[in-house]
Chain A
Amino acid sequence: MNAIIDVDRLSKQYVNGPKALDDVSLQIDEGEIVALLGPNGAGKTTLISIICGLVVPSGGTVRVGGHDIRTDWRAARKLIGLVPQEITLEPFETVLNSVRFTRGLYGAPPDDAYLEQVLRSLALWDKKDAATRELSGGMKRRVLIAKALSHQPKILFLDEPTAGVDVALRREMWQVVEQLRRDGVTIILTTHYLEEAEEMADRIGVINHGKLLLMQPKDELMGEFGKKHLTVELQEPLDALPASLAERGLTLSDDRRRLGYDYDTRSERTGIARLLADLAGLGLQVRDVSTKQSSLEEVFMSLVAEPDDEGPDRDDAARPALKEATA
């Protein structure tokens, strides 16, 4: 895979403001979907705004498709489409004219057949002659996507594409992104919704205080953190953990009443059925069974938590990944 976006030691210091980006480096491969997670003000929008040309960086370099965004900005920008966070449309313009205009801005020759295809794929063709002010919020957001796709970009930036939209529309957006993935478009999205990142992204990056804390393949991340912990509460305390259970990785609590078992939720065989059969075979009576999953949300929270926020029982499992990402 070739890196279509190469960000090297990027920083941004706003005048009389905070350091919005601090020495961020990352590479994004062609055809990837990358989700950037982070709380408000973390630096996500600043990062994509710099790559798109809306914000001037204070330091570092960005190459898009091999083109430097400062010295070869025309070639770089031709490859990019941006869907901004805010719904910003000229209210009196029709949908089709609005999309045609954006295509023209990129110097692409008129191609109404392609624009029809884009509008149909976004279920907007019926509204092509409607003024944008007449559309619902969801439709307006889709018009922004249509505009961003109007010049057939290789890279699409979606800045909080589902912020403030209802669940049904969010699902609709995910389907649109899935379609774009099939078309080979590289997508970088920022989001607050961890579920969204889990659903769509190939890789997940976590940004906070302008620093990229983590950038890992989603599957790897979920594999690392997506484990479940099974707790079996026994009727009677055990004197000691039976050897057959110890061999299978079970642990015994200090009060000797609870057995602990970690398993991977994505495995074909979790081993739970066999474990319960073994317990019955050993004559152990089960009082209760419970499971707990370390979700992406826990990973995220542990990464972005302020030092003061860290409670005594915070899961430190994310730390190795953090060290890896910042090493």
Chain B
Amino acid sequence: MINTGAIRAIYGHEMSRFFRTVWQSIASPVLSTVLYFVVFGAAIGGRIQSVEGIPYGAFIVPGLMMLTVLQQSVSNASFGIYFPKFSGTIYEYLVAPAGWIEVSVGFVGAAASKAILISMLILLTSFFFVGAQIAHPVWMLAFLFLTSFAFSLLGFIIGLWAKNFEQLQIVPMMVITPLVFLGGAFYSASMLPPVWETVAKLNPVLYLISGFRWSFFDMADVPVGLSLFAVGLMILVCMGIIRWIFLTGWRLRD
């Protein structure tokens, strides 16, 4: 039987850490997003014509939200589980009657919540700069939830894998950010030459951004069903890896 008390304890513990440093947790991503709006939306965006009928400033809102969600999900979840490993308090989680489901749901749920909270703040901020519309608000929330959950799971795996702070930062820095930038955060894949459009479609993040953009503007680079399939597949694969790590004790138990 699932130990729901453990999930609540881990989730509450992680969220209280977030709220202890709420201003620095929120200020940094919101400030950098404001800069994106100022540079890409106002300064450069004014010189770029609309993308498929959508003003450029509004077009980049889903991409910027996705960029934040992905970065925040990965960094929150990876740091969340790595810190107890680093400080030695990981033993508490391992001796408690809590399995991989409780521990991962607690950490991943908290990391996803923080990412969603910050991305919603960015959405609110965007209203000050561009008049973004949301065509399918329920699907927008669904994509936001699923994507933050999927990338928090990935971050959780990175935190379990990492042996030092360098490893903890290298994946978000060297993999996630390039994938988001190349995944159409600031452009539509259809704007690329055919060869590069095909290459771009090998990037899994493109499917997430495309689906998310569809929920805003009812237009997408790839079919929405494919976007949902991509995020669902990523969740399943990540959960499988986490389950394997906990059952074998890899990098957790001797």
Contacts and interface: CB of A to CB of B under 8 A. Distances in A.
Nearest to A82: B95
B47 interface: no
Nearest to A77: B97
A88 B91 contact: yes
Given A80-B95, A88-B87, A49 B6 contact: no
A73 B249 CA distance: 14
A105 B16 contact: no
A74 B3 CA distance: 9
Contacts, number: 80
Given A53-B94, A54-B94, A74-B3, A97 B8 contact: no
A14 B91 contact: no
Interface residues of A, number: 32
Contacts of B6: 104-107
Given A89-B89, A104-B9, A107-B4, A49 B97 contact: no
Contact of A105 (B1, B9, B20, B249): B9
Contacts of A311: none
Interface in B1-52: 1, 3-6, 8-10, 12-13, 16-17, 20
B249 A56 contact: yes
Given A102-B92, A104-B5, 13 more contacts: A49-B254, A53-B95, A54-B254, A74-B1, A75-B97, A77-B96, A82-B95, A86-B88, A92-B20, A104-B6, A105-B5, A105-B93, A107-B98
Interface of A: 14, 49, 52-56, 73-75, 77-78, 80, 82, 84, 86, 88-92, 97, 101-109, 147
A90 B16 CA distance: 13
A305 B92 CA distance: 35
A14 B89 contact: no
Interface string B69-96: 0000000000000011001110111111
Contacts of A53: 94-95, 253
A105 B96 contact: yes
Nearest to B89: A88
26 contacts: A52-B95, A53-B94, A54-B94, A55-B253, A56-B249, A74-B3, A78-B97, A80-B95, A82-B91, A88-B88, A88-B91, A89-B87, A90-B83, A91-B87, A92-B20, A101-B9, A104-B6, A104-B9, A104-B12, A105-B9, A105-B92, A106-B5, A107-B3, A107-B5, A108-B5, A147-B92
Closest 9 CB pairs of A and B: A104-B9, A88-B88, A107-B5, A105-B96, A74-B97, A107-B3, A77-B97, A52-B95, A55-B254
Contacts of A55: 253-254
A74 B92 CA distance: 14
Interface residues on B, range: 20 to 34
A134 B8 CA distance: 27
A54 B93 contact: no
Which of B87, B95, B99, B253 has the most chain A CB atoms closer than 10 A to its own CB? B95
Contact of A56 (B4, B10, B93, B254): B254
Nearest to B16: A97
Contact of B254 (A14, A52, A73, A84): A14
A174 to B, nearest CB: 24
Nearest to A51: B95
A89 B90 CA distance: 10
Contacts of A101: 9, 12-13
Contacts of A108: 5
A86 B87 CA distance: 10
Nearest to B253: A56
Nearest to B252: A54
A86 B254 CA distance: 17
Contacts of A78: 97
Contacts of A97: 16
A109 B94 contact: no
A194 B98 CA distance: 36
A261 B116 CA distance: 82
B102 to A, nearest CB: 9
B91 to A, nearest CB: 6
A52 B6 CA distance: 17
B98 A90 contact: no
A91 B86 CA distance: 12
